[in-house]
Amino acid sequence: MATVKEGDFNAIKEEVKKVLKQPGYDDGSAGPVFVRLAWHASGNYSLVEHNGGSNGAGMRFPPESVDPANAGLHHAISFLLPIQAANSWISHADLWTLAGVAAIEAMGGPTVPWQPGRTDYDSGEAASEHRGELADRLPDGAKGADHIRDVFGRMGFSDQEIVALSGAHSLGRCHPDRSGFDGPWVVNPTRFSNQYFKLLLTRKWTPRKWDGPFQYETIVAGTRLMMLPTDMALIEDPKFRPWVEKYAADQGLFFKDFALAFGKLIELGVERDDTGFAKLVNKAAREGKP
């Protein structure tokens, strides 16, 4: 990988685009798993407890590195290691979030606003002292609308933002050895689009008969597609559904709303000071303890 000029984040984005093609891995692209890395790095933020989020890159250490919800994300982290090795000036936390943004763009999606300045925990000890117990904060695909609102409400997202963010399931797939679920949501899972919403509304989804966890299926042009119970909740819930309908009908609106919501997600808990960096403040200091 090339070493780029310190602070040239556009050049890093180009480096990320160079490692997207991964023959032999999934659908030939690291793009979807980069997007999931950025999301899971950020998605354990709590507005109330004021902890979690992408700053610090806590997923390199327990409890996040061993959280079953993060199974498989080591693939994304390893695909990015050569870039990190050649450019030690960029923090893991900035690289992970920027990789998600670069992947969305390269797969035909919108440009998500992104700012640098995240810093990294220098040890697992520092991570646990700063973050405490953060496992179990990511959504469980087997659950319903109330659970989705609990999880995303904790981060400060509205129903509209929840539905927009869920459109990321136009990318990638479920892996039986990671989540237990199986298969992609759309026919072309390396193209960012509003297909996920269209398929939710237009296909007949039936429970899959198999040994794995409960999920829905439909066959499109010989390909078996899937939906999680949480995906189906978006059309079953009367407040979520109108947003699914809007995004299915208007890809431009989906792209615009997705870019804003994903940009908000990767900023959660990132508080830069006047140096432009987001310092890592430990838990006791946050709670005002000496």
User: Which residues of this protein are in contact with ligand DDH, per CB under 6 A?
Assistant: 32-33, 35-36, 39, 72, 139, 141, 148, 165-166, 168-169, 171-175, 178-179, 181, 228, 230, 262
Least separation in angstroms between residue 161's CB and ligand DDH is 9
Q: Under a CB-based contact definition with an 8 Å cutoff, are residues 72 and 109 in contact?
A: no
Residue (255 or 280) nearer to ligand DDH, CB: 255
| Nearest distance from C-beta of residue 289 to ligand DDH, angstroms | 33
- Smallest distance, Å, CB 73 to ligand DDH? 8
β-pair type (173-174, 183-184): antiparallel
> Min. distance of Cβ 96 from ligand DDH in angstroms?
12
* Closer by beta carbon to ligand DDH, 80 or else 228: 228
DSSP for 206-252? EE--SSSS--EEEEETTEEEEE-HHHHHHHHSTTTHHHHHHHHH-HH
Which residues are the active-site residues? 40, 185
Structure tokens, 278: 């987001």
Q: Are 85 and 173 in contact (CB under 8 A)?
A: no
3-state secondary structure of 174: strand
- Residue 35 or 278: the one with the smaller Cβ distance to ligand DDH is 35
Q: Is 116 within 8 Å of 53 (Cβ atoms)?
A: no
Q: How big is the chain, counted in residues?
A: 290
Task: Report the residue number, 4 or 248, with the smaller CB distance to ligand DDH.
Answer: 248
Residue nearest to ligand DDH (CB): 172
Q: Counting beta carbons within 10 angstroms of the beta carbon of residue 241, is it exposed (0 to 12), middle (13 to 18) or buried (19 or more)?
A: middle
Pairwise CA distance, residues 218 & 226, whole Å: 7
> Residue 5 Cβ, how far from ligand DDH at the closest point, in Å?
29
- In this complex, which beta carbon is closest to ligand DDH, that of residue 124 or of residue 139? 139
